Structure 1
Amino acid sequence: MAKLSYKVPSSLNRSFLDHEITLSKGGWAAKPSPIKQLLFFGGGVLALLWFSTSTFIASSGPVAITFFILWGLSAIAYFGGLMQTKELRIMRVPAFLAYLPLKARHVFTRRSSNPSDFSSIVGIDGIDEDGLIHFSDGGEGRAYLIVGSASYLLFDKDRIGILNRVDSFWRKVETACEHSFITTKEPQRVYRQVADLERRNQALRVRDPDLIELQNEQYDILTQHVGGKFTSIHQYLLLKGKNAEALRRGHQVLQAEVGGSTLMVKEATMLDREETLPMLRVFYQGTEDDLLDLKASLN
């Protein structure tokens, strides 16, 4: 039976400070608290007492001292609270300070803008012939053309099986490898049909002009009409690992999923360099001329 709700699983990277203890069997202290939260509360209260008695706050008067203690206790209670991931709220303060400047909240991607900010996030240094992507932050990635099993015509049993399989897959995925799903609308891929047509051409024993003309007509229909004017939805999966080892483990998990079941991913085809470039054009470039510039810059 598919789950109606999901929760964030506990991290395997737990330390001694993450262990939870219960201070009392009843009241507000009955809720288990991690050791790091208790240490934060204790250290915060001691620091508040020191500021109230040994600094200029001690000579500011009873009213000011009272307001300072109330403000300090409120700050300790708030920043010492736990988020859904069992992390203290104070752990988000460095990220908040980095996000606070207006410049850090906007990345301009106009043609006339400085590309340094955008490149620092998703910049690519190069793509190998086999499709291995080298990112500017030191990570490595690969792109896959995938085919799923989702459909409006699914039976309830199949839908539940897909949900359970997807839940099982994400439990095996490591955080060191990012999974980005990219959906585009592109001309239909006809390379298999063109290859089959070429095999038929090579197998012709009688080079009759009418047969040659018929094959040329079929080739024009495939390349110019079906593969040029008729578009369909394509879905890609971009794996980006922090390093080569993280990417290798992410590839193994995906390969095992494709080989073990067709519920989540029915087919996954690894893309080489020439197939990866058009897919990245959706984010990096916008026209055919820009795609040629992208190819030239990565050569």
Structure 2
Amino acid sequence: MAKLSYKVPSALNRSFLDHEITLSKGGWAARPSPIKQLLFFGSGILGVLWFSTSTFVSSSGPAAITFFVLWSLAAIAYFGGLMKTKELRIMRVPAFLAYLPPKARHVFTRRSSNPTAFHSIVGIDDVDEDGLVHFSDGGKGQVYLVVGSASYLLFDDDRVGILDRVDSFWRKVETSCEHGFITTKEPQRIYHQVANLEQRNQALQVRDPDLVELQNEQYDILTQHVGGKFTSIHQYLLLKGKNIDALRKGHQVLQAEVGGSALMIKEATMLDRDEAYPMLRTFYQGIDDELLNLKASLN
């Protein structure tokens, strides 16, 4: 039976500092706080007292000391606050400082530029012809085009069945293989329609000008309108294993799920290199350039 509500489970790398305690039964202190937050507040207050009494701040005058104490306490209260992930806000400071320089916010992709910065973002060394993705950290991956069963028009029994099936699937997944679901809005795929139109063109025995013009018109509609202006939602699943064996196990679990039931995933199509590249270009090249490449390849 599907649960009525779900929660994010506790991380496996929790330490002693992540345990939460309650200081009192009523008031603001009744909210549980992790030990690391209490230690941060305590050490921050002691540091403010030491700076205001034993350093040059103590000789700055009452107004300056009061301003320094109030500003320091406000900073401690803000950076000691918890984010949704139960981490202190001060943990964002290193990432902010690394992003602050202008050169860290721009990645040059010219052929003459150093590819190190771009490679650190992509993290992909190569994609084999069969679609096997080689990551820079040694992991192996595979991209699938998936079709799910979720809809606003589901009956209650179908919704419960899907939730139960999803819960059962994630219980079988091993931690050595990551599952990344990617949702993109891309031009509609018209490869099969264009191929069918080309077959009709080759099978045309009478080269009547009106028939040829009609086929050219259909070709222009497919390439310039349906495959260029109209976009649709596509969902991909990126399996990333620590090694090739972990990826193979993840593929077996996914294949068993698709073959056993259509509740969670109706279809899962493994993509080769030529099919995986357009999906990656959506992130690293942009949709506008992708549309231009699609039109150039069809023409």
- What TM-score do the two structures reach when normalised by structure 2? 0.68
Q: Do residues 276 (structure 1) and 276 (structure 2) align?
A: yes
**Against the structure 1 CA distance between its residues 98 and 3, is the aligned structure 2 distance closer, same or farther, given a 3 Å change threshold?**
farther
Q: Do residues 187 (structure 1) and 186 (structure 2) align?
A: no
For the residue of structure 1 that corresponds to 2:189, the secondary structure is strand
- Aligned residue in 1 for 2:51: 51
**Against the structure 1 CA distance between its residues 265 and 57, is the aligned structure 2 distance closer, same or farther, given a 3 Å change threshold?**
same
Q: Do residues 244 (structure 1) and 240 (structure 2) align?
A: no
For the residue of structure 2 that corresponds to 1:266, the secondary structure is strand
Task: Return the offset for 1:12.
Answer: 2.4
The aligned amino acid for 2:189 is E
Q: Is the 8 A contact 1:138 1:242 kept in 2?
A: no
Q: Do residues 121 (structure 1) and 111 (structure 2) align?
A: no
Q: Is the 8 A contact 2:241 2:250 kept in 1?
A: no
**Against the structure 1 CA distance between its residues 63 and 279, is the aligned structure 2 distance closer, same or farther, given a 3 Å change threshold?**
closer
Q: Is the 8 A contact 2:183 2:233 kept in 1?
A: no
For the residue of structure 2 that corresponds to 1:239, the secondary structure is strand
The aligned amino acid for 1:23 is L
- Aligned residue in 2 for 1:178: 180
Output one character per residue of 1:123-174: Cα deviation in whole Å (capped at 9) or x when no partner.
5321123321123465532111222224565445434544665577678696
The aligned amino acid for 1:186 is R
Q: What percentage of aligned pairs have identical amino acids?
A: 67
For the residue of structure 2 that corresponds to 1:26, the secondary structure is coil
Which deviates further from its counterpart, 31-40 or 164-173? Answer: 164-173
- Aligned residue in 2 for 1:92: 92
Q: Distance in 1 between matches of 2:60 and 2:280?
A: 62
Following superposition of structure 1 onto structure 2, how do residues 207-218 of structure 1 map, counting pairs within 5 Å?
A: 216=203
Q: Distance in 2 between matches of 1:85 and 1:162?
A: 27
- Aligned residue in 2 for 1:29: 29
The number of equivalent residue pairs is 264
For the residue of structure 1 that corresponds to 2:276, the secondary structure is helix
Which deviates further from its counterpart, 137-146 or 36-45? Answer: 137-146
The aligned amino acid for 2:71 is W
Unaligned runs of 5+ in 1: 198-212, 292-299
Q: Is the 8 A contact 1:177 1:247 kept in 2?
A: no
Which deviates further from its counterpart, 31-40 or 170-179? Answer: 170-179
Output one character per residue of 1:71-115: Cα deviation in whole Å (capped at 9) or x when no partner.
111111111111111111111111122222344344566x78958
Task: Return the offset for 1:118.
Answer: 3.8
Following superposition of structure 1 onto structure 2, how do residues 1-299 of structure 1 map, counting pairs within 5 Å?
A: 7-107=7-107, 114=113, 116=115, 117-122=117-122, 124-136=124-136, 138-151=138-151, 154-159=154-159, 161-162=161-162, 165=165, 177-184=179-186, 185-189=188-192, 216=203, 235-239=234-238, 241=240, 243-244=242-243, 247=247, 251=251, 254-283=254-283, 284=285, 286=290, 287=293
**Against the structure 1 CA distance between its residues 247 and 49, is the aligned structure 2 distance closer, same or farther, given a 3 Å change threshold?**
farther
Q: Is the 8 A contact 1:239 1:247 kept in 2?
A: no
Q: Is the 8 A contact 1:8 1:85 kept in 2?
A: no
**Against the structure 1 CA distance between its residues 278 and 23, is the aligned structure 2 distance closer, same or farther, given a 3 Å change threshold?**
closer
Task: Return the offset for 1:45.
Answer: 1.4
The aligned amino acid for 1:70 is L
